[in-house]
Chains A and B, each alone.
Chain A
Amino acid sequence: MFGKIASFEFRYQLRQPAFWVIAIVFGLLAFGAVASPNVSLGSGGNVHKNAPYALAGAHIIFNVFFMLATTAIVANVIARDTQTGFGPLVLSTRITKGAYLYGRFLGAFAAVALCYLSIAIGTLLGTFMPWVDPETIGPLRLGDYAYAYLVFGLTGVFLTSALFFTLATVTRSMMATYIGVVAVLIAYLASTGALGSRPEFETAMAWAEPFGSGAYALVTKYWTAAERNTLNPPLEGVLLWNRVIWTAVGFALLAAAWALYRPSPKGAKLRKQERLKALVETDAPPAAPVGALPRPSYGFRSALTQLVSRTRFEMALVFRSPAWVVLVLLAFAFAVATLFFTGEIYGAPILLVTRVVITALMGTFGLISMVIAIYYSGELVWRDRDRRTHEIVDATPTPDWTFLVPKTLALALVLISTLAVGVLAGVVTQTIKGYTDFEFDKYLFWYVLPQGLSFTLLAVLAIFIQSLSPNKFVGWAIMVVYLISTIVAVNMGFDHVLYRYGAGIGVPLSDMNGTGDFARFNAWTDAYWTAFATLLLVVAWGLWRRGTETRLWPRLKRFPHRLAGPAGLVAGVALVAFVGLGSFIYVNTNVWNDYRSRDAREAEQAAYEKALLRYETTPQPSVAHMQLAMDLRPHQPKLTTRGTYVLENRTDAPLREVHLRWTEDLDMVRLDVEGAAVAREWPEFEYRIYRFAAPMQPGERRTVTFETVLEQRGFRASGNTTRLVDNGTFVNNMEFAPMIGMSRQGLLDDRSKRRKLGLPAELRPAKLEDETARGRNYIGADWTTADITVTTDANQTVVAPGRMVSDVVRGDRRTSRFVTESPVLNFFSVQSAEYERTARMHDGVELVVFHDPDHDRNVPRMLDALAASLDYFQANFSPYQFRQARIVEFPDYASFAQSYPNTFAWSEGLGFITDLSDETKIDYVTYVAAHEFAHQWWAHQVVGSDQQGATALSETLAQYSALMVMEKLYGREQIRRFLKDELDGYLSARGMERLEELPLMRVENQQYIHYQKGGLVMYLLRDQIGEDAVNRALRRVLAQYAFRGAPWPRSLDLVAALRAEAPADKQALITDLFEKITLYDVKITGATATKRADGRWDVAVTVEARKLYADGEGVETEAPLNETFDVGLFTAEPGKGVFDEEDVILLERRPIRSGTQTLRFVVDREPEFAGADPFNKWIDRNSDDNVRPVG
């Protein structure tokens, strides 16, 4: 009986179109993920698209979206008997409840499980597609597919099948079930979104995440690309238990279905009867006919009443529907959860300024708003039909527009209300986090109105589609396909605003510059798409289904007839507006500005590289001095620069040519080189070669004079300038002045695109051993002096490199002149805005913060940080080369801080909104200030040659310097916490390496190596050889290389200096840290304490240790370990909760060797915890097992 029911159900499901549609859709999605170069699920970097890691990732992730599909199959298994009225017939047979429920479930689940195979099949097919980059595909290993399918696919769909089967069977309502799906989906996305990326929750997530992603992520956390490509984690521990527990939950849900299922829906029937009885049914004779009732009228008033009444009616139906309430509540919860953790950097929270809240809300409420727009457009268009009121309603004399317009209007208002709930979520979270400057004007104008319009445009499209579709499901399906296709189209490079429905010009937000000119640009595209949407509405009106005719053809036939009259007029006006605005936008984006598709841009990048990269190493003269007169019109925006370079031949041979290049956006009005003429020019690449009539002899000087205009006319489809803006101009010299020689800047870097365009897959820096590379530094700029005069609006302040020697206001213009007092790299910025200037003198140096008047919260801390940094660096490195150190704020169009000569450009989105109120958190402001300040030595005095290891001299040393400043201010405990995060970051990032991991000494600008590993290495070395020795070594490097030109220093010079200062027994350690990729693994396997007769304690600690060398792919080989590690006994667990010096019973250095060893101690107090390298100073593959409770 059971088997028959199951097999009947299975065959029934296989005959349903839903089954095949789902299989095809998910198969295509999986196929697309493999076959399209722009999509990756778990793959990426060196991880193959069919790596076990990627397969597991796909099988986990698809579970989330497959919930909708699962539900489509399992939910109607029982519910359809109720819907079709077939239930009583089935139930009157002798079938048992168990056989009925579970037979049906098993059959449907088998169909779901079969359907889920489409993901494996799609992936498999994708790997065979000829256009797929073979480098991204590993060998075919069916076992990996089986592992992913069985461990994650099957268990996941079992859980969701059981859940939604039970929900549907108990509620017997498809509506309730789908609300359940959406609720689960959003709760899942919200909780994983909020907690998934936070390391402190990773263990909790490993247990609680129902599809195994948390467990899988934890188990494979530090896997390298090699491991991800070849290994499946063994089914044990948390991974096994996660799958077992959640499968058990599935069975429990099925049991609940049996317990809660009632064969006949008596309850509902009974309730209805009672309700009817409750309706008073007096059998009074009908009242006499009322005589003439008021007569209808059909004027404007009537139309207006109908509009208002219909709109309210439609809105009420949405607001009262449970789905809306559920969706919005979920969005609210999701938004609050996300906002709560928004923007933390190194665990340091930021102030929830409204701008940040809005950016976050656009993400969290965007999805919900989109769902509401699409779902309710279907519901509203089809509601009268679904509720079978259409015959009554359609026979009334209301004109058709009183259906269409109110539905559109109602939906727009519903969307705006939804966005208002988002604002509420923002305000609530801001209040919780203690930020009360709510800035409702920004909420309204930056968020509610623009987003409301954008989703309304989407809703209009959906309404249009629905009015053409044969039913709402087709309409919804078309909308989903449309949304996916828009994403695909953009990914394929079709991204112009003129043909992407509803697309706008990006409006980046800044508290300094507001919405700048961007909102104005965007208004044009908004108007353009609104005109188009109006056309869509007219067409939708013309084809409106009225009465019982649902076929499209008869409606199409009467369409032209219906356009005669006001509708035609509206359509005509809309069409004229659409074409007119479109033409205007086209002139802006394609005539006044360059528009190229992504493919065209990439082809040009490739052509540029092919034509000019060969000049990269051509010896060039250097700029020895420059004089610039800049005229900035921030509101135009326009920057005119007239300048002179004094070129100097610093090479030891005569130079015949000088190569000059500038950026594409720059208009080179004039460019003359003394004693030279243009020998060759590539106008399309803004590159010229000037040949000297008489070659430039070594040491000889020549001048270059130029005039440039940097300006944007009108607006672009994308990439509007964020550099020249009303308030917060931030340009660097490469943007407004010619550069000398060729560099790798702006070259294509995507490996597969490079190969496709006939370029080598990657451009790597010169090897460390390549002496010829020492002729250039990695920044591509030589030492120069500068004399810069900038004129800007009188109410703005200019900051340029060097010291301001004059500042004159004439009329509404201000002219400031800056002169450098020490050589600077020919790489600097000019900034101009309405700044407030807060300054402090410290040790003869003027410390200044130029900031927006409203952004003064952290300014004192910044000045403190600069002072502390100055003290440490001058005491331990060398005197500071300038008389000012200036932090200059710029709008949040980019989120970074960068060190220019005596200037630190700092985004308003970073330290200016850091929340420093919690003193236990990392002081991010001081950390960044110290890091950037340190670059005045490590980059602006010593700058690495253009080859491997260059950034070890700048970024690694800036990191070290910042750590030392932080340690002096806050003590070691905060540094330990910081370094624990750095260790985690390093170990995770190396798994995503694209090329190969390199030793620190050979770092190729890999951030996880020069920042994260670099900081760890330097701090460990400091611990092992002492702060003085390290700083002596750094002074050595400065003495040898500060402000010297070619040959530029290498990382080898740093290593040599460290070796010179380190004792003989640490030389091997330096080799391991700098020259190799070395990983340590120390763990405590046992710790016991026994009380002695004299009241003291005998403690035995068993330590297991090993040392591993890894190659660039992550393949490890063991090597003998022989180092001294901290070993400690504590009364509290270090690194967790409250821990201070009193908790340390013993802390000493002990030699640790490979293998197992037992260390013995005698101590006065009873230890609770024992630790080997308890503070995680070493690069430990598993830093969680270094401490263990004693006992």
Chain B
Amino acid sequence: MLTIENLTHVYGNGTRALDDVSLTIPKGMFGLLGPNGAGKSTLMRSIATLQTPTSGSIRFGDIDVIREPEKLRRVLGYLPQDFGVYPRVSAYDMLDHMAVLKGIANGRERKDTVTALLHQVNLWPVRGKALAGFSGGMRQRFGIAQALIGNPELIIVDEPTAGLDPEERNRFLNLLAEVGENVVVILSTHIVEDVTDLCPRMAVLAGGKIQLEGAPTDLMHSLEGKVWRRTIDKAELAEFQKRHNVISTRLLGGRTVVHVLSDGHPGDGFERAPGGLEDVYLATVAASRRAA
């Protein structure tokens, strides 16, 4: 169980990346959804002991993460949003090196670990190739392999599917689904489908604040019957934005499809739209923008 209380982080330039964030994350897959710049990575890095928040507390089980980062690192598996590789180092060597760093000191155990993980992420055939030549998907799979070394109890994956093509993304999510049974897995993403597909619980982070928290199905229920849709000309958009609570616009065949949020029928020729998680997310983000 990961407990975050009143976490605030202010960067040197005054940016308030996290603003009094409190969250409780149980075992299983937890989706953290938010637009770019919402503070997701700051939150992930703070949990992963890579930066010290300005105030607030993070506890994982008995571990006070901020005071004893060394202890958390022993149970942590972390896949950052963006990571590089050393030049001229193969996948096998690098994973072996990571295993050393994670404390797998015994040579045979390390070999078992590396072999098993490379098989699991389907990189065994290319183990001898330099990581620098890997595609984005392969690199992310390597990333999850290194995160899994040493049976972590807390796994943090930050924007793992950004930039992957659909096939690679699929492969990656399958992999993730398998590990997230008995440990805490935090999946931070701005892609709603990632959460829909995988996570029994989720939260929306925007503007450094938790805007929404719950099970995706519950959240979708809450919008049941409140989302309305209409296809309009581009020129009309401004007018509609003035009159209605527009949560999303999307181009479709050259015209604009707008979704608005309204308890009752908004008139103007709108029709009821089936509320998906995306609408929940967009509505939340839109609300937070208006509040800001």
Are A and B co-members of a single complex?
Answer: yes
Docked-complex contact A309 and B125, CB < 8 angstroms: no
A397 CB within 8 Å of chain B: yes
Cα A297 to Cα B119 in complex, Å, equals 23
- Interface residue? B150 (CB, 8 A): yes
Q: Verify A395–B125 contact, CB threshold 8 A.
A: no
> B48 contacts A395, CB within 8 Å?
yes
Contact across chains for B80 and A282 when beta carbons are under 8 A apart: no
Query: Pick the contact of B135 from A276, A282, A317 — CB < 8 Å?
Result: A276
CB B94 to nearest CB in A, in angstroms, measures 9
A279 to chain B: which residues have CB within 8 Å? 126, 129, 133-135, 138
Q: Is B74 an interface residue (CB 8 A)?
A: yes
Using known A-B contacts A389-B86, A393-B101, A395-B78, determine if residue A295 contacts B150 with beta carbons closer than 8 Å. yes
A395 and B50 in contact (CB under 8 A), knowing A286-B120, A293-B148? yes
A549 on the interface (CB 8 Å rule)? yes
B135 near A398: Cβ-Cβ < 8 Å: no
Q: Is A320 an interface residue (CB 8 A)?
A: yes
Contact at B120–A297, with CB atoms within 8 Å? no
What are the residues of chain B within 8 A of A402 when measuring CB–CB? 101
CB-based nearest B residue for A561? B67
Q: Chain A's nearest CB lies how many Å from the CB of B178?
A: 5
A399 at the interface (CB under 8 A from B): yes
Which single member of B106, B133, B143, B151 contacts A292 (CB below 8 Å)? B151
Q: Which of B108-116, B261-269, B282-290 touches A?
A: B108-116
Residues of B within 8 A of A391 (CB): 45, 48, 50, 78, 80, 83
Against A, the Cβ 8 Å flags (1 = close, 0 = not) of B116-136 are 110111100110010001110
User: Is B273 an interface residue when CB atoms closer than 8 A count as contact?
Assistant: no
Are B133 and A275 neighbours in the complex by a CB distance under 8 Å?
Answer: yes
The answer on a CB contact under 8 Å between A290 and B101 is no
**Docked CA distance A551–B79 (Å):** 23
CB closest chain-B residue, reference A309: B100
Q: Residue B103 at the A interface, CB < 8 A?
A: yes
Query: Would you list which residues of chain B between 53 and 97 have a CB under 8 Å from chain A?
Result: 70, 73-74, 76, 78-80, 82-89, 97
Selected from A284, A298, A392, A554, the residue in CB contact (under 8 A) with B103 is A298
Interface string of A691-718 (1 = CB under 8 A from B): 0000000000000000000000000000
The smallest beta-carbon distance between B162 and chain A, in angstroms, is 15
Partner of A280, one of B48, B73, B85, B126: B126
B88:A305 contact, CB within 8 angstroms:
no
Measured between beta carbons, the chain A residues less than 8 angstroms from B231 are none
A547/B45 in contact, CB under 8 A: yes
The answer to the question of B175 belonging to the interface, with a C-beta cut-off of 8 Å to chain A, is yes
Question: A397 contacts which chain B residues (CB < 8 A)?
Answer: 70, 73-74, 76, 101-103
Output the residue of B84, B125, B129, B148 with the most chain A CB within 10 A: B84
B85, A282: Cβ atoms closer than 8 Å: no
Q: Which of A281-328 contact B (CB under 8 A)?
A: 281-284, 286-287, 289-290, 292-299, 301-302, 304-306, 309-310, 313, 317, 320
State the Cβ distance, A317 to closest chain B Cβ, in Å: 6
* Per-residue contact bits, chain B 30-55, to A (CB 8 Å; 1 contact, 0 not): 00000000000000010011111000
Pairwise interchain contact A289-B103, C-beta atoms closer than 8 A: no
**Cβ-neighbour of B109 out of A280, A294, A548, A549 (below 8 A):** A294
Q: Are A395 and B105 in contact (CB under 8 A)?
A: no
Are A547 and B51 interface neighbours, CB within 8 A? yes
The smallest C-beta distance from A512 to any residue of chain B, in angstroms, reads 49
Identify which of B50, B76, B119 contacts A290 (C-beta below 8 A): B119
Whether B84 lies near A389 (C-beta < 8 A) is: yes
* Nearest CB in chain A to that of B91: its residue: A279
Residue of B76, B78, B88, B179 touching A289 (CB-CB under 8 A)? B179
What 15 additional pairs, Cβ within 8 angstroms, besides A279-B134, A395-B49, A397-B76?
A280-B126, A281-B126, A292-B151, A293-B113, A301-B105, A313-B97, A317-B89, A388-B84, A391-B45, A391-B50, A391-B80, A395-B73, A399-B70, A547-B48, A547-B52
6 A-B residue pairs with Cβ-Cβ distance under 8 Å, sorted by A, are A286-B171, A294-B112, A388-B84, A396-B103, A397-B102, A402-B101
Q: Which 10 A-B pairs have the closest CB atoms?
A: A296-B103, A547-B50, A388-B84, A294-B109, A391-B80, A302-B105, A290-B116, A397-B73, A395-B78, A396-B101
- Residues of A bordering B, CB below 8 Å: 272, 275-276, 279-284, 286-287, 289-290, 292-299, 301-302, 304-306, 309-310, 313, 317, 320, 383, 387-389, 391-399, 402, 546-549, 551, 554
Give the A-binding residues of B (Cβ under 8 A): 12, 45, 48-52, 70, 73-74, 76, 78-80, 82-89, 97-98, 100-106, 109-110, 112-113, 116-117, 119-122, 125-126, 129, 133-135, 138, 143, 146, 148-151, 171, 174-175, 178-179
